[in-house]
Structure 1
Amino acid sequence: MKIAINGFGRIGRAILRQILTTARGNGIEVLLINDIAPLEMCAYLFQYDSTFGPFPHPVGQEDGRLTVLERSIPMSHQADLSQVDLTGVDVVLDCTGIARSSDVAQRGLAAGARKVLISGPSPAAEQTLVYGANEDQLGAARIVSNASCTTNGLAPLVKLLDEIGGIDSAHMTTIHCYTNSQPMVDAPRGDFARSRAGALSMVPTSSSATHLIDAVLPHLKGRISGAAVRVPTASVSAVDLVARLRTPMEEAHFIAALKTGTEASEVLGWTEMPLVSSDLRARSESLILAAPEIRQIGAQQMRVFGWYDNEWGFSARMLDVARLMAA
């Protein structure tokens, strides 16, 4: 599979790290990286990462290329991707966060790539996919959204719960680390609460997963609500879901069914340990269910808690979906 990475920020760099250091990168050739930042800055931020630590191999620059692990990857610095030659690229992984309109989303196709995968929600996408929930709906879509990190954690869990006992209704709260959409110090943003310093307060806000879950699992439309609380940690978030099932069952039976379903999943994980968020850093699962946190109230109401590395796990799913698109 031949790819290009457009936007070399948190997700773009995590994707390249996984290509270079994990089995998920087998058979993937990176033909180009495009980012508006200078090559020197891109190489520096790839080599030294405050969340995942220094890259364990030398990173260099030569003749406009990023050199690492015997790879020499051309870099361009165009704000408009359509100005770059992407002939031979199977999938452009658009990690800029700006591909929300059709004209921007289609720039990769205009440059010669076969398909475009967007690293976030996008109204311009022909299809929104979550691996482990609705990847069978890809069809002939050429512009695909990989949804959000929270939706990637929530949707496979919701699908499993619905298979176990049928979801009557549910509410999800994501306890989410701060992101670049929040200021370091109080500064104006569109949302008043998210205008406050992200590393100093817990910030109640909305979650895009609330409406994306309806698009990914339309048979559950209107049954699942959600919200978010941004918290002062740099990585790893959590899903706290309370669901009312249509089928009454004993707690032991519910937990056994949940564990069995998790073990059969490609994207869900399971832990019996009393872990904290930093223990889950750089885990590639979409969601790791925490067995000690599972609760049952009555015969039909369940509480399920799971961890997800919102950067690393999401980047892993970008590569999984890109393989489907390339095929």
Structure 2
Amino acid sequence: MVKVGVSGFGLIGCLVTRAALNSGKIDIVTINDPFIDLNYMVYMLQYDSTHGKFHRTVKAENGKLVINGKSTSIFQERDPANIKRGDAGAEYVVESTGVFTTVEKAGAHLKGGAKRGQPLPSPRQPGPTRQRALRLSRAVIHSDSKGNAMSWELCIVATLLAVLATQFLMNMR
């Protein structure tokens, strides 16, 4: 199972967490958001006006987010370099705050022990966004085009697929 940390628990971070948990192949081991209280994280994960109720047990316990009995470490740090994600077992970090939008800035997550930080493109940041190309089964989804209008849904899917591709040795170009 891939162990992932989430940085930013707004709409995107919450949806990444839901999608990861629903996949059964990704384990969310850390969540960082300096602006969202743990009890509100519980509420956000349980109820979504678009995607409906999350059908798992979610609670706050001893400063951690507990989902179906599994504890997730919660941090409230503004500087991702101060988060010891490696101690929690995070191999990857999904950067969904909209603040660390370049690979260089997202690299601060690696100082805490994660192997890789993946920034999600922010619509507020103009400029090219490289779309990932993944070979899944025999169908090839390939795009070396650059664009700055990727939807956040595509960003979430691309990030999760990239993590799965890396973990399960799919051919990625």
Tell me if 1:31 matches 2:29.
yes
Preserved CA contact (<8 Å) 2:120 2:159:
yes
Moved more, 106-115 or 310-319: 310-319
Give the partner amino acid of 1:85. Answer: K
Preserved CA contact (<8 Å) 2:29 2:73:
yes
Partner of 1:7: 8
Question: How far is 1:90 from its partner?
Answer: 1.8
What is the DSSP-based 3-state SS (H/G/I as helix, E as strand, rest coil) of the residue aligned with 1:315? helix
**Deviations 1:138-158 (CA, angstroms, capped at 9, x unpaired):** xxxxxxxxxxxxxxxxxx5xx
What is the DSSP-based 3-state SS (H/G/I as helix, E as strand, rest coil) of the residue aligned with 1:106? helix
**Deviations 1:267-314 (CA, angstroms, capped at 9, x unpaired):** xxxxxxxxxxxxxxxxxxx9xxxxxxxxxxxxxxxxxxxxxxx55554
TM-score normalised by L of structure 2: 0.75
Partner of 1:324: 165
Partner of 1:315: 156
Partner of 2:109: 108
The structure with the largest alpha-carbon Rg is: 1
TM-score normalised by L of structure 1: 0.42
- Runs of 4+ in structure 1 deviating by more than 3 angstroms, as ranges, are 310-314
Change (3 A) 1:311 1:53: farther
Looking at structure 1, the residues matched to 163 and 17 of structure 2 have their Cα atoms a distance apart, in angstroms, of: 13
What is the DSSP-based 3-state SS (H/G/I as helix, E as strand, rest coil) of the residue aligned with 2:85? coil
What is the DSSP-based 3-state SS (H/G/I as helix, E as strand, rest coil) of the residue aligned with 2:93? strand
Partner of 1:94: 95
Preserved CA contact (<8 Å) 2:9 2:96:
yes
Number of aligned positions between the proteins: 156
Looking at structure 2, the residues matched to 315 and 14 of structure 1 have their Cα atoms a distance apart, in angstroms, of: 8
Partner of 1:82: 81
Preserved CA contact (<8 Å) 2:131 2:145:
no
Partner of 1:52: 51
Partner of 1:129: 131
Preserved CA contact (<8 Å) 1:10 1:311:
no
RMSD between aligned residues: 3.1
Preserved CA contact (<8 Å) 1:19 1:26:
yes
> Which ranges in structure 1 are unaligned for 5 or more consecutive residues?
137-155, 160-212, 219-224, 229-285, 287-309
Question: How far is 1:26 from its partner?
Answer: 2.8
Question: How far is 1:120 from its partner?
Answer: 1.2
User: Structure 2 matches for 1:160-199, cutoff 5 A?
Assistant: none
Preserved CA contact (<8 Å) 2:98 2:120:
yes
Give the partner amino acid of 1:119. Answer: L
Give the partner amino acid of 2:145. Answer: L
Give the partner amino acid of 1:33. Answer: I
Give the partner amino acid of 1:64. Answer: G
Question: How far is 1:315 from its partner?
Answer: 2.4
Q: Of the two structures, which has the highest relative contact order with CA contacts closer than 8 Å and spacing of 6 or more?
A: 2
Change (3 A) 1:76 1:47: same
